[in-house]
Amino acid sequence: MNWTDNADQSLRAVLENMVAEGLFAQSLGMQVTPAQVVSASHAMLLDLIRVSLPLAHVMDQSDLVLHAQGPALREGALRLGAFNWVVTTAEKALRRLSSNLFDLAQRDAKRLSRGLDLRLTGMAPGSLYIGVKVESVVSALFTVADEPLIGSVREAVHSLPRASSLIGEDRISTAALRDVVPDPAQRDSLLETLLSLTPTGRQDIETVNVGAPGEKSAALSKRARLVLRDYLRRPDLLQRKTGAFVGEVREIDLDAGRFHLRGVQGVGAIRCVATIDHTRAKLMLGETVRIRGDYECDRNGKPRLMLATEIEVIPAPRQAPLLDD
């Protein structure tokens, strides 16, 4: 039974109880007016109509539900800046997550993430609830081969509550996270997404609860932001190995210190963690690069997440000049 069914049953129970009370009063010979019958259940009816039914719709129709709380989101008087922060942050976070997943699949990440159809399924009171749905492919930007990637994005979004529930007061258990997200590269991308969803304190938002279908919601606080930021500076690798790989770099996130090494022979793409300045980034973009460092494999034994210690740009071979006849 879903949230809407529960809300409908509650509404029906209240209405049936009102009718039963009126009939019972009549059977006792009491003269009661319709207003008297309604008054006993009026407050409960209003709560169901104003809160429970809208919330049920959001919970049932969304791939991600955010429940933001704080002084700026007082019921009936939401601060516009805080509301905009929640909605804009949700869209940016999901597009960035999808871009990472598309890039790890060695597809055109910018094109596909722009074409991702994100819908606001609704809002509900109680500070602020918003729901976001990842729609099926309707954009011409997606080819038939790209369509299965939408399912992987939706699956990653659904795992956000479980991942956020594993953020402790001062640490994150990588081993526990692996049970939720076995792929190290996707795991790192999810934590980056959660970091962007945590309140900064600048908008008077204290917590953001993250929920998804069939998942128990988990709270992200300003404390969680500190824990996530510290962890992402140097992620913990499980079954650490050391090696070097050669591939192409097409995009670098300087703020996050992340890039993907694409076209690695026998591997595909590897998500790399490194501190890179603008000058070095310009030299790397669009070039063949050799990366050395410690890395973690997925369950199939493929390297997926690397802490880069050495970065070497491999010069493109020069074409020999043509000889005159």
Question: pTM (2 decimals)?
Answer: 0.87
Residue by residue, DSSP assigns 42-73 as HHHHHHIIIIIHHHHHHHHH-SEEEEEESGGG
**Residue-level pLDDT at 125:** 85
Range with top average pLDDT, 6-20, 143-157, 265-279: 265-279
Pairing of β 303-314 and β 288-297: antiparallel
Tokens 């990440």 — which residue? 109
Rounded to an integer, what distance in angstroms lies between the CA atom of residue 200 and that of residue 197? Answer: 9
Residue 241: beta bridge partners? 295
Decide if pLDDT at 325 tops 60: no
Rounded to an integer, what distance in angstroms lies between the CA atom of residue 237 and that of residue 100? Answer: 19
**Residue-level pLDDT at 321:** 64
Q: Measured on CA atoms in the order 181, 92, 251, 308, is the torsion positive or negative?
A: negative
**Residue-level pLDDT at 324:** 60
Mean pLDDT of 161-190: 93
Decide if pLDDT at 111 tops 90: no
Q: What is the DSSP letter of 117?
A: -
Mean pLDDT of 288-293: 96
Q: Measured on CA atoms in the order 155, 160, 161, 162, is the torsion positive or negative?
A: positive
Mean pLDDT of 171-181: 91
**Residue-level pLDDT at 76:** 74
**Residue-level pLDDT at 159:** 96
Rounded to an integer, what distance in angstroms lies between the CA atom of residue 86 and that of residue 130? Answer: 9
Residue, of 302 and 317, whose pLDDT is higher: 302
**Residue-level pLDDT at 163:** 95
Domains of the chain, earliest start first: 3-52 (no CATH), 61-233 (no CATH), 241-314 (2.40.50.200)
Residue, of 249 and 31, whose pLDDT is higher: 249
Nearest to 47 by CA among 3, 9, 11: 11
Percent of the chain residues past pLDDT 70, beyond the cut: 96
